[in-house]
Chains A and B, each alone.
Chain A
Amino acid sequence: MTAIHSTHIAKPATVSTVMLKVLAALLPGIALSVYCHGVGVLLQLLLASLTALAAEAAMLRLRGVAVLPALKDLSAIVTAWLLALSLPPLGGWWMIVVATLFAIIVAKQLYGGLGNNPFNPAMAGFALMVVSFPAQMAQWGSPQLPLDAAAQWQWIFLHTLPAGSVPDAISSATPLDVLKTGLRQGQALAGLLPQSSAQGLIALGWLAGGLWLWQQKLIPWQTPLAMLAGLLALALPLWLWQPAQYASPLLHLLQGGTLLAAAFIVTDPVSGASTPRGRLIFGFGVGLLTYVIRVFGNFPDGIAFAVLLMNMTVPLLDQYTRPAVFGHRKGRS
Chain B
Amino acid sequence: MMPLFDFPGGIHPPENKAQSSATPIRQAPLPPQLHVALRQSMGNAARPCVAIGDRVAKGQLIASADGRLSAAVHAPTSGVVSAIAPQPFAHPSGLPELAITLDSDGEERWIERQPLHDWQQRSGAKIRDFLAQMGIVGLGGAVFPSHLKLGLKLGVSPLETLVINGAECEPYISCDDRLMRERADAICDGIAVTRHALQARQVLIGIEDNKPQAIAAMQAAAAAHGFGVVAVPTKYPSGGAKQLIRILTGKAIPHGVRATEHGVQCFNVATVYAIGRAVLHGEPLISRIVTLTGAVEAAANVEALIGTPLDQLLALVRPHRDSHEVVMGGPLMGFTLPDLAAGLTKAGNCLLVKSPALFPPRPPAQACIRCGDCASACPVSLQPMDLFWFAKAKNFDKAQQWQLFDCIECGACSYVCPSQIPLVDYYRFAKSEIWAAERDKNAANLARQRHEFRQFRLQRDKAEKAQRLADKAAQAAARQAASHSAAANVAPASDPKQAAIAAAMARAAAQREAAPLPEQHSSGLNDAKQAAIAAAMARAAARKAAADEAKAASGQPPAPPPSSSGLDDAKQAAIAAAMARAAARKAAADQARANQQPDP
- Where the two chains meet, the residues of A that have a C-beta atom closer than 8 Å to any C-beta of B are 3-11, 13-15, 17-18, 69-70, 73, 75, 113-116, 218, 220, 269-270, 272, 274-275, 318, 322-328, 333
**B411, A6: Cβ atoms closer than 8 Å:** yes
Q: 11 more A-B contacts (CB under 8 A) besides A5-B425, A325-B382, A327-B254?
A: A6-B414, A13-B418, A113-B367, A115-B368, A115-B369, A269-B370, A269-B372, A275-B375, A325-B381, A325-B406, A326-B8
**A325, B418: Cβ atoms closer than 8 Å:** no
- A-B residue pairs, 7 tightest by C-beta: A327-B254, A115-B367, A7-B414, A326-B380, A7-B411, A8-B331, A327-B252
**B327, A8: Cβ atoms closer than 8 Å:** yes
**A5, B253: Cβ atoms closer than 8 Å:** no
Contacts A274-B385, A318-B386, A327-B242; is A3 near B422 (CB within 8 Å)?
yes
Smallest Cβ-Cβ distance to B422: which chain A residue? A5
Name A11's contact: one of B402, B416, B425 (CB within 8 Å).
B416
Contacts A8-B327, A14-B363, A115-B369; is A327 near B422 (CB within 8 Å)?
no
Q: What are the residues of chain B within 8 A of A115 when measuring CB–CB?
A: 367-370, 419
Name B419's contact: one of A15, A275, A326 (CB within 8 Å).
A15
**A8, B332: Cβ atoms closer than 8 Å:** yes
**A9, B252: Cβ atoms closer than 8 Å:** no
Q: What is the distance, in angstroms, from A271's C-beta to the closest C-beta of chain B?
A: 9
Contacts A4-B425, A6-B422, A8-B352; is A116 near B367 (CB within 8 Å)?
yes
Q: What are the residues of chain B within 8 A of A11 when measuring CB–CB?
A: 11, 13, 415-416, 418
Please measure, in the bound complex, the distance between the C-alpha atom of A173 and the C-alpha atom of B369, giving whole angstroms.
36
Please measure, in the bound complex, the distance between the C-alpha atom of A11 and the C-alpha atom of B419, giving whole angstroms.
11
**A326, B379: Cβ atoms closer than 8 Å:** yes
Contacts A325-B403, A327-B257; is A9 near B370 (CB within 8 Å)?
no
**A114, B417: Cβ atoms closer than 8 Å:** no
**B369, A114: Cβ atoms closer than 8 Å:** yes
Which among A69, A113, A114, A327 has the highest number of chain B CB atoms within 10 Å? A327
Q: What are the residues of chain B within 8 A of A75 when measuring CB–CB?
A: 369
Q: What are the residues of chain A within 8 A of B381 when measuring CB–CB?
A: 323-326
Q: What are the residues of chain A within 8 A of B331 when measuring CB–CB?
A: 7-9
Judged by a CB distance under 8 angstroms, whether B424 is at the interface is yes
Judged by a CB distance under 8 angstroms, whether B366 is at the interface is yes
Interface bits B404-433 vs A (CB < 8 Å: 1, else 0)? 001000010011111110111100100000
**A9, B401: Cβ atoms closer than 8 Å:** no
**B367, A9: Cβ atoms closer than 8 Å:** no
**B418, A7: Cβ atoms closer than 8 Å:** no
Smallest Cβ-Cβ distance to A322: which chain B residue? B383
Between-chain CB contacts (< 8 Å), 19 pairs = A3-B362, A4-B425, A6-B428, A7-B411, A7-B415, A8-B332, A9-B171, A11-B418, A18-B418, A115-B370, A220-B372, A269-B372, A270-B370, A274-B372, A274-B385, A322-B402, A323-B8, A326-B8, A327-B255
Please measure, in the bound complex, the distance between the C-alpha atom of A13 and the C-alpha atom of B416, giving whole angstroms.
8
Please measure, in the bound complex, the distance between the C-alpha atom of A325 and the C-alpha atom of B420, giving whole angstroms.
24
Please measure, in the bound complex, the distance between the C-alpha atom of A322 and the C-alpha atom of B402, giving whole angstroms.
9
**A9, B332: Cβ atoms closer than 8 Å:** yes
Judged by a CB distance under 8 angstroms, whether B453 is at the interface is no
Name A10's contact: one of B7, B401, B415 (CB within 8 Å).
B415
Q: What are the residues of chain B within 8 A of A14 when measuring CB–CB?
A: 363, 366, 418-420
Judged by a CB distance under 8 angstroms, whether B540 is at the interface is no
Please measure, in the bound complex, the distance between the C-alpha atom of A103 and the C-alpha atom of B371, giving whole angstroms.
20
Smallest Cβ-Cβ distance to B243: which chain A residue? A326
- Where the two chains meet, the residues of B that have a C-beta atom closer than 8 Å to any C-beta of A are 7-8, 11, 13-14, 92, 171, 242, 246, 252-255, 257, 327, 331-336, 352, 354, 359, 361-372, 375, 379-383, 385-386, 401-403, 406, 411, 414-420, 422-425, 428
**B359, A6: Cβ atoms closer than 8 Å:** no
Q: What is the distance, in angstroms, from A152's C-beta to the closest C-beta of chain B?
A: 35
**B425, A6: Cβ atoms closer than 8 Å:** yes
**A274, B359: Cβ atoms closer than 8 Å:** no
Q: What are the residues of chain A within 8 A of B385 when measuring CB–CB?
A: 274
Contacts A275-B375, A326-B380; is A15 near B366 (CB within 8 Å)?
yes
Q: What are the residues of chain A within 8 A of B368 when measuring CB–CB?
A: 115
Smallest Cβ-Cβ distance to A268: which chain B residue? B369
Please measure, in the bound complex, the distance between the C-alpha atom of A328 and the C-alpha atom of B361, giving whole angstroms.
37
Contacts A270-B370, A327-B253; is A7 near B383 (CB within 8 Å)?
no
Q: What is the distance, in angstroms, from A193's C-beta to the closest C-beta of chain B?
A: 40
Please measure, in the bound complex, the distance between the C-alpha atom of A270 and the C-alpha atom of B368, giving whole angstroms.
8
Q: What are the residues of chain A within 8 A of B242 when measuring CB–CB?
A: 326-327
Please measure, in the bound complex, the distance between the C-alpha atom of A326 and the C-alpha atom of B372, giving whole angstroms.
17
Please measure, in the bound complex, the distance between the C-alpha atom of A13 and the C-alpha atom of B257, giving whole angstroms.
36
Q: What is the distance, in angstroms, from A117's C-beta to the closest C-beta of chain B?
A: 10
Name B7's contact: one of A4, A274, A326, A333 (CB within 8 Å).
A326
Q: What is the distance, in angstroms, from A55's C-beta to the closest C-beta of chain B?
A: 17
Q: What are the residues of chain B within 8 A of A13 when measuring CB–CB?
A: 416, 418
Q: What is the distance, in angstroms, from A68's C-beta to the closest C-beta of chain B?
A: 11
Q: What are the residues of chain A within 8 A of B423 when measuring CB–CB?
A: 7
**B369, A325: Cβ atoms closer than 8 Å:** no
**A6, B424: Cβ atoms closer than 8 Å:** yes
Please measure, in the bound complex, the distance between the C-alpha atom of A313 and the C-alpha atom of B223, giving whole angstroms.
58
Name A9's contact: one of B8, B359, B380 (CB within 8 Å).
B359
**A9, B366: Cβ atoms closer than 8 Å:** no
Name A275's contact: one of B8, B257, B352, B383 (CB within 8 Å).
B383
Q: What is the distance, in angstroms, from A15's C-beta to the closest C-beta of chain B?
A: 5
Please measure, in the bound complex, the distance between the C-alpha atom of A9 and the C-alpha atom of B15, giving whole angstroms.
11
Q: What are the residues of chain B within 8 A of A7 when measuring CB–CB?
A: 331-332, 411, 414-415, 422-424
Smallest Cβ-Cβ distance to B412: which chain A residue? A7
Q: What is the distance, in angstroms, from B323's C-beta to the closest C-beta of chain A?
A: 13
Q: What is the distance, in angstroms, from A19's C-beta to the closest C-beta of chain B?
A: 9
Contacts A14-B420, A327-B252; is A8 near B354 (CB within 8 Å)?
yes
**A10, B370: Cβ atoms closer than 8 Å:** no
Please measure, in the bound complex, the distance between the C-alpha atom of A209 and the C-alpha atom of B194, giving whole angstroms.
56
**B362, A5: Cβ atoms closer than 8 Å:** yes
Smallest Cβ-Cβ distance to A112: which chain B residue? B367
**B372, A325: Cβ atoms closer than 8 Å:** no
Contacts A18-B371, A274-B383, A325-B382; is A4 near B415 (CB within 8 Å)?
no
Q: What are the residues of chain A within 8 A of B370 when measuring CB–CB?
A: 115, 269-270, 272, 274
Please measure, in the bound complex, the distance between the C-alpha atom of A3 and the C-alpha atom of B417, giving whole angstroms.
15
Which among A113, A324, A326 has the highest number of chain B CB atoms within 10 Å? A326
Q: What are the residues of chain B within 8 A of A114 when measuring CB–CB?
A: 366-367, 369
Please measure, in the bound complex, the distance between the C-alpha atom of A9 and the C-alpha atom of B252, giving whole angstroms.
28
Contacts A115-B367, A326-B381; is A15 near B422 (CB within 8 Å)?
no
Please measure, in the bound complex, the distance between the C-alpha atom of A8 and the C-alpha atom of B415, giving whole angstroms.
8
